[in-house]
Structures are given as C-alpha cells and as structure tokens.
Amino acid sequence: MTTTIDTRAAARSSAPSAPYRVNFIRVVRSEAIKLFSLRSTWWSLGVTVLLAVGISFLVAVLTNSVPEEFRGQVPVNPMSAVTAPLQFTMLVAGILGAMAITGEYSTGMIRSSLTAEPRRGAVLLAKALVVAVTLMAVTVVTSLLSILVVTPLYSGDGFAWDDAELTWIPLAFTIIAMATFALLGLGWGFLIRNGAGAIAATVGILFVLPIVMSLFAIGGESWQWLIDLYDYLPSSAAAGLTTDPSADTLRNVIVLLAWPAAAVLGGWTVLRARDA
C-alpha cells in the first residue's frame, strides 16, 4: 500500500505543468473569440455598416437637392453626412454591448469565464476593451466607406481636410461615441443580467428618454429645468460633439464619458457582489 501511494505521489510530482497561464492578454483573446463566434455580433455589425453608409448617402443626396436660391442658407459640410447616422447606429452599438454579456448569463457561460479567471474585474475590463475596440474599428470602416460614397455627390464642395474642426474632430468624436454607447449597453447588461431588460434600459436612455424630455418644451418655463437636463443625455452630447465641436466641448465630453463609466462601474459592483 505504501509503495502504491509513493508511486502515485511521484507520478503527480513529475507530471508536466500546464504550459499556459491565464493572464490579461489571454482573457482579452478569449473575450474576442466569444464575441465574434456569435451570429448576433455579425448581424449587428452588418446592420451598422448598412445604416451608416445608407443614411450618409441619403443625407448627401438631400443636401445636394436643395434649390440653388436656398444653397446659401444651408451650410454645406460633407462630414455632416458621415456623422449623421450616429443617431441611429448608436442603438445598434448599445444593443450589441448588452448582448455581449447577457448571452453569457442566459447560457451559463459566465460561470466558466469566472472559473477560468477568478478576478472578476479583469473579465469585465477585457470584455469592455473588446467591445469598445470592435465598435471603434467598425466605425472607422463605415466612415471611410461613407466618405467614398458621398464624395462624388458634393463635387466642388469637398471635404475640408485642412480644417480639423470641420472634419477630423467630428469624425474622431463619432468613433469615440460609438464605443461609449456600446459600453453603456455592456454596463446595463452586467447590471440587469437579462437581455431584454438590458436592451430596454439602453434604448430607453439613448432613444426614448430624449423624445420624452423634448416633449416638455411645450410646457413653458415651468418645465425649463427638465428641458435643460436634455443636454446632459449621452445622445445629446454626442450630437453636439459631432455637429459643432466648438460649443460646450468640455461638458459634452464629460457627459458622453460619464454615462458609460457609471454603467460599467455599477456592473462591476454587481459582478463582485453577486454570484454568477
């Protein structure tokens, strides 16, 4: 019996250890594999591309269809056609962010993720990084495609690439905004842990809440305090940064970053406090 125990102990001690250790880079790679193995991800990204390019084309066509006598009253900036789809693609970005985590809760995969990497903050950070970088990369691609599509339509009134305030700055804020919208959805996904609930919360903040708050404009000065809060919604901040970056830039940047930061921080708190 002693010989048998000694033999097993020696076999265990001589067994080769795992050649790979879990680190943050491998956690990021794992999250990327999980995200891109979902059909919903590819559908969402495809819809984003179609919406962005299609709406940019329509805006460019409508801008160029303005009668000659009114051309002087309509400022022509081709970049506005490229950034215009943001008010629609932001919903797809937020929904994609929510689905990136709620799907794991519905299938139970989150337990495997947390078993492989017990540091829950690292899992959340890796997923947030993958989602944000993905939306930024897709926005770069869609912006380039939109620029190629709308450039021939503006003929002489081309892009003023030498004026950063008219071109590069709105384009950069569009890319950043898409990432923040996705992180907003991701944060709500961690908070609610349910796909329908997280999507409803995200769409409510990005789309429904601005409409509801704008309705109070007909209520007069008694509702002015609520109308003023409209400027502190993420969609309003993004619209301001992509249409007129010189106006209230600092406030809009803070608003745009604060909403997803609060959602992700809340998701991290819930993730640490509750069982998977």
Question: Distance between CA atoms of 127 and 113, rounded to whole angstroms?
Answer: 11
Q: Is the pLDDT of residue 18 over 70?
A: no
- Which residues lie below 8 Å from residue 85, measured CB to CB, with a gap of 6+? 51, 52, 54, 55, 56, 142, 146
Question: Distance between CA atoms of 177 and 135, rounded to whole angstroms?
Answer: 9
Residue 167, SS3 per DSSP: coil
Q: Is the pLDDT of residue 10 over 70?
A: no
**pLDDT one-digit tens code per residue, 59-104:** 988 887 766 655 555 567 889 999 999 999 999 999 999 999 998 9
pLDDT-based confidence at residue 42 (cuts at 50, 70, 90): very high
Q: Is the pLDDT of residue 163 over 90?
A: no
Amino acid in position 199: I
pLDDT-based confidence at residue 264 (cuts at 50, 70, 90): very high
**pLDDT one-digit tens code per residue, 229-241:** 888 999 999 999 9
